[in-house]
Amino acid sequence: MVFFILQLKYFIAGITEDSLVNPEVKKYGELGNKFAYVPKGIMLSQQERYARLRSKKNGAQTAIDDEHQMYKAVSPLKAGGITVRGYKIISHQLNSPEVEGSMIKNQHMNLAIHDHKTEDVEIAHINTPCNRFYHTTKSLEKKGLHFFSGEEKSRTQNVEGMARHLVWLVEDLKRLYEDESLTEEQRYKFSLAVGKLEMGSSHKIYELKSQVKKINKTHQELQKKQADLNGKKNERKKLKISMGLMNYFVGKMQLNAEINMLEQVVKSAKNDNEILRIAICDPEEKGQNNGILVDIYDVLKNTIESSVLAGDDPVILEQKKTIMLFRKLLGNHFRFDSLPGSELMERGQELMMFQLLNQRMGVISGVNCKSGLDRTGFVFAMMMGLIQCSQERALDIVANWDQYTADINSKMKELEYDTARLDQWLDEPVNPELKEIYRTILDFRLNVFDNLLNVRFIRQVGLNLA
């Protein structure tokens, strides 16, 4: 667990092992250049933690690291007679294409096939690598070196997942302008927003859903052809000279011809997928333009947010916040550097923004890595921390995470990490709104730390709280 925290040191201030064992000895722990404020009494005894886990089942959710379980998650609801039409599920994977590429491809393909087969549940897949390759790649790229391609591969594959999020966003807007409980002005603004999104780009939004379905269908066809290809290769391996030279050479010749034909079919299916993805978005600029999602990014930022949904109406503002979250993630995910004001963010902030977006859109989110322990455990602790955080401030804090944390960390360093001086500074009446934000960030860090200990404790004692 400590190793994984090191990998995400730019997301949360670190705690040393001394702090884990005895918080009275060391209230601050240094990891890289970040610090965490650990007040007295934050630690619970094993007995207290066990009692709390048993009563609240805190941290009992485990990673959904098998793509089939994402679909099976709604089976009890269906069996109970509950309508699940319109359920939205996202499997958020944390694996690295450099060393875990087959896991990513298999999950992506199987989820796409599940999504294609079912009409009552919509499933999306996103992969954001969260191991040592993330920071190593960033460090090398700053020096002009491009040794690893995991980030690029993930962004290309995530085209379908981001497109699905956009479709869900527009569907939410449509439901709002059809909601008769809203005022005429509110419904008009939401209908205008949908109109701008569907007609204000070079492609209509509803085409995205069709494109994603076509990609999912090609995944299904590709899986079948790949199975046929593997079957023929296995047949070729079983050929033995002992069956007779003539039979051996003739059989091998026939199988080689069939294998060559199937390899061309598989290659063609992969090319079809690539073409469909480029039409949605081309993060590596392989096509003539960058596709639908680039057009949409511009419409969201320069038309919907700045004009159509302008004003201080609380209902409008809430939906505008959801749009802002998606737009920032879109700009970061596909590195739209050519667009003015495009947002690039660290991986930790990106994960938090995905969590808030899924919460606001009612999307069931399943996080998984290879073992479902370290990376998944950390992100789960973070997700729980966001839920525990003041929801009024969560979005503002996450959207401006880098700036706020840089400010509070700088102040803590200035105060030489003295808890008394820090508390005194926070109590000063100067900039009370900003001070409250800093307190919320410190509380959030502590909650993530506490949640990590809960996950760690569950692993150690092997509790089955499901």
Identify residue 389 by its one-letter amino acid code.
C
Main-chain phi, psi angles of 31, to 5 degrees: -145, 110
**Residue 413's pLDDT is what?**
92
Residue 125: what pLDDT? Answer: 95
- What is the spatial distance between Cα 414 and Cα 406, in angstroms, rounded to a whole number? 12
Q: Read off the pLDDT of each residue in 141-166 and give the average, rounded to a whole number.
A: 86
Is 67 a domain residue? no
Whether residue 187 is found in the same domain as residue 98: yes
Q: Looking at the domain assignment, is residue 299 inside a domain?
A: yes
Cα–Cα distance for residue pair 87/96, rounded to 1 Å = 28
Q: Which residue has the higher pLDDT, 138 or 444?
A: 444
- Residues 52, 92: one domain? no
Query: pLDDT at residue 148 above 60?
Result: yes
Q: Show which of 371, 406, 435 is a domain's final residue.
A: 371
Does residue 133 lie within any of the structural domains? no
- Band of the pLDDT at 90, cuts 50, 70, 90? very high
The answer to whether residue 66 sits within a structural domain is no
Q: Is 342 in the same domain as 396?
A: no
Same domain for 365 and 413, yes or no, is no
Residues 447 and 327 in one domain: no
Q: pTM of this prediction?
A: 0.75
Q: Give domain status of residue 8, yes or no.
A: yes
Query: Is there a domain that residue 377 lies in?
Result: no
Looking at the structure, tell me whether residues 159 and 16 fall in a common domain.
no
Assigned domain for 76 exists? no
With CA atoms as reference, report the closest residue to 129 among 149, 106, 109: 149
User: What are 244-281's pLDDT values in tens digits?
Assistant: 777 888 888 888 888 888 888 888 888 877 777 777 77
When divided into structural domains, the chain yields a total of 2
Mean pLDDT of 158-172: 90
One domain, residues 181 and 269: yes
| Residue 455 resides in a domain | yes
- 193 and 47, same domain (yes or no): no
Residues 288 and 175 in one domain: yes
Could you identify the residue written with the tokens 């199987």?
110
- pLDDT at position 50: 39
**55-69, 198-212, 392-406: segment of lowest average pLDDT:** 55-69
Q: Are residues 57 and 92 in the same domain?
A: no
Mark whether 110 and 207 lie in a shared domain.
Answer: yes
Smallest CA-to-CA distance from 350 within 128, 152, 142, 165 is with 128
Task: Locate 89 and state its tokens.
Answer: 């599920």
Of 99, 123, 93, nearest in space to 111 by CA? 123
Q: What is the pLDDT of residues 342-375, one digit of tens each?
A: 578 889 999 999 999 999 999 999 999 988 888 9
Degrees (nearest 5) of the Cα angle 160, 382, 148? 50
Q: Which of 337, 371, 405 is the last residue of a domain?
A: 371
Sheet bearing 87-93, strands edge to edge: 121-127, 87-93, 364-368
What range defines the domain where residue 442 resides?
Answer: 2-61+391-461
Among 339, 371, 403, residue at a domain's last position: 371
Q: In terms of domains, do 29 and 161 share one? A: no
